[in-house]
Amino acid sequence: MNAKKTITLSLAALLALALLSGCGGKQSPEPPVDVPAAAQDSPGEPGASALGSLASFTAGTLDGGTFTQDDVAAKDVTVFNFWSLTCAPCIAEMPELAEFAKALPDNVAVVTVCLDGYGNEDAAREVLEKAGFEGITLISGDGDLLDLSANLMYTPTTVLADSQGTLVGEAIIGGQQDLSGSFLKAVNQVLSAGGKDEISLENT
C-alpha cells in the first residue's frame, strides 16, 4: 500500500471514530443548534489553543488536490470548519458559512473538513454545492490534522489557525445563532494577536 493511500485510510478511520462522540453520537449529545456553548460566546483571550496546532500535515481535498501547512502559511488566518454528512446542524449552517467565506478578504480563508467525506465524495459535493460553498474541503490527511480530528468532541467544530499553524483561541462548538458575527470576532482575535489589522465583512 503506498504512503498516500495509507494516509487517506488512516485519517478516514480515525475521523469515523471521532464521529462516534460528535453530532449524533451516543456518548456525547451535541449542543443545541440555536444555543451556543460557553466556548462559543466567550472564545477567551487570544493564545495557543489546547487542541494543539496545524503546523505539520498533508491533506487530500475533495477535488483531488493536496492541502498542507504551506497553504495555511499563505494566509494570516485560516478557519477550519469540521463537519459531517450525518450532522444536520452542520449542513444547516453551511449556506451561512459559504456566505461568510465569500465575504472575507484575501488574507483570510475558510476550509471545511468533511469527517466522513472519504468514500462519500458525491454526497459531500452535493451538500457543498447546494450551500454555495466554493472553498476547499479536506477529506483525508495525516500529522497534526489527524491529531486534531482525534480530539474533537462535537460537530460542527471550528478552529482558527494563524500563518504558523498555531490554533488561536477556543474552538467554536456547535451551530451559531450569528455565525458571521461569531466567526468574524474570532478571526479578528487571531489577527490582533498576530499584530495584523482587523477586518470587516462590510467592505469586502
pLDDT in tens, 93-114: 999 999 999 999 999 999 999 9
Q: How far apart are CA 137 and CA 22, in angstroms?
A: 19
Confidence band of 185 (pLDDT split at 50, 70, 90): very high
Q: How far apart are CA 26 and CA 134, in angstroms?
A: 32
Between 38-47, 64-73, 117-126, 184-193, the lowest mean confidence (pLDDT) is in: 38-47
Confidence band of 150 (pLDDT split at 50, 70, 90): confident
Q: Enumerate the β-bridge partners of residue 53.
A: 166
Q: Which grid coordinates belong to 182?
A: 461569531
Q: What is the mean pLDDT of residues 137-160?
A: 94
Q: What is the pTM of this model?
A: 0.79
Confidence band of 1 (pLDDT split at 50, 70, 90): very low
Give φ, ψ of 101 to 5 degrees: -60, -40
Average pLDDT, the chain: 81
User: What does the DSSP 8-state code read for residue 116?
Assistant: T
Burial of 6 (0-12, 13-18, 19+ CB in 10 A): exposed
User: What does the DSSP 8-state code read for residue 107?
Assistant: T
Residue 184's SS3 state is: helix
Q: What is the pLDDT of residue 183?
A: 97
Residue 98: closest CA among 110, 113, 90: 110
Give the percent of the chain with pLDDT over 70: 74
Higher pLDDT, 2 or 28: 2
Q: Which grid coordinates belong to 118?
A: 472519504
Q: How far apart are CA 111 and CA 141, in angstroms?
A: 14
Q: Where are the alpha helices (DSSP H) in 20-61?
A: 38-41
